[in-house]
Amino acid sequence: MDPGFLDVLDKHPENSDRVKNIVSILKRAPISPYISWHLPTPALIPHLLSFHTPEYINELVEVDKEGGKMLCVNTFLNPGSWDATLLTAGTTLSSMKHILDVNRKIAYALVRPPGHHAQPSQADGYCFLNNAGLAVQLALGSGCKKVAVIDIDVHYGNGTAEGFYRSNKVLTISLHMNHGSWGPSHPQNGTIDELGEGEGYGYNLNIPLPNGTGDNGYIYAFNELVVPSIHKFRPDMVVFVIGQDSSAFDPNGRQCLTMEGYRKIGRIVHGLATRHSDGRLLIVQEGGYHDETFSVKVIQDIKKYQKDELLL
C-alpha cells in the first residue's frame, strides 16, 4: 500500500513475474524435451464445493461482482483475480485427472495464485481456493482410497490440514518455518500437537523447523518423520505441495535450503511415490518469491528423476 511519499513501490510478492521465468526456463532449458504442455479449462462452481463451503464460494463470487476487496491481511481479490483463481483450480484438477485417466505418472500444476492457506470457508495468505485440496478430493472420488500430501512451502499448509483434519483417508504433512498463527485468517499454529480430530486424529503431521534449518535439517526430518509416516500410511496417490520460499535466497523465508537440498527432497518424494502409488505424483506450485532463483529451483524439484511426461 502506498504511504504517500515514495516514488518506487515494491510489487506485491504474489505477482505474475514469479511464474514467467518458470515458464521460460521450462520451455528453453534441457528439460524441455521431457515436458508435455496442456492448457486446462477453468473450474466450475460445483467442482469447488468438494472442498469449500457454498457460503464461502458465494462470498467470493459476490466480492468479484462488486469489484474486489481485501479479504484478509495482504490478500486482495482484485478485478481479474477470480477468473485467474478459477483457472488455477482448473489447472490443478486437470493435472490430477491426467494422472488418473491418462495414466501418466507425474503432473506439475504450475499455478498462481497459490492455494494451501485457503481453508474450506476462509481466504488466507494470498490464497483463495485450495488447489491441492480440490485435487485430493478428486482423487478420493475417483477410486483412490488414501492420499498423502507433503507440503514443503516455508509456511504451514494450514488450509489443506484444516480441510482434512477429521479424515483418516488423507495424511497431511507440512514442513514449515515455526511461525505460529498470524491472525484471525490463520488461527492454526502449525505445532506438533495439531494432530487432527475424530477419525482424523493422527493423520495431520506438523514439522515446524527453526529458522535456518538448511539442507541437512530438512533431510533429517524427511528420513526420521516423513518417510516412516508415508510407509505406515501406504497411500495410493501422493500430492507434493512445493514452495520455493524455503530457499536461502527467498525474501519471505529464512530456511536456507539450497538447490542440492531440493534435489534430495525431490528424490525422496519420488521414491515414496514409486513405492506406494505406482509412481503417481501430482506436484502443485505454491510460494516462492525470488524471481530468478525461484525459477531454477522449480526445475531442480521436478528434474527428470524418471523420464516421464510432465503436465503443465
Q: Which residues are catalytic?
A: 117
- Contact yes or no for 147/170 (Cβ under 8 A): yes
DSSP code per residue over 192-224: TT----GGGTT-EEEEEE-TT-HHHHHHHHIII
Q: Which of 183, 172, 177, 252 is nearest to 205 (CA)?
A: 172
The residue written with cell numbers 499455478 in the block is: 111
Q: Which of 129, 154, 138, 112 is nearest to 282 (CA)?
A: 138
In 50-78, which positions are buried (b, 16+ CB within 10 angstroms) versus exposed (e)? bbbeeebbebbeebbeeeeeebbeebebe
Q: Which of 203, 185, 262, 275 is nearest to 236 (CA)?
A: 275
- Contact yes or no for 183/73 (Cβ under 8 A): yes
Question: Which neighbouring-strand residues pair with 36?
Answer: 311
DSSP 33: G
d(CA 151, CA 228): 16
Q: Which amino acid is at 76?
A: F
The CA-CA-CA angle for residues 29, 271, 193, to 5°, reads 110
- Show the DSSP H helices in 66-157 as ranges: 81-102, 131-141
d(CA 173, CA 206): 6
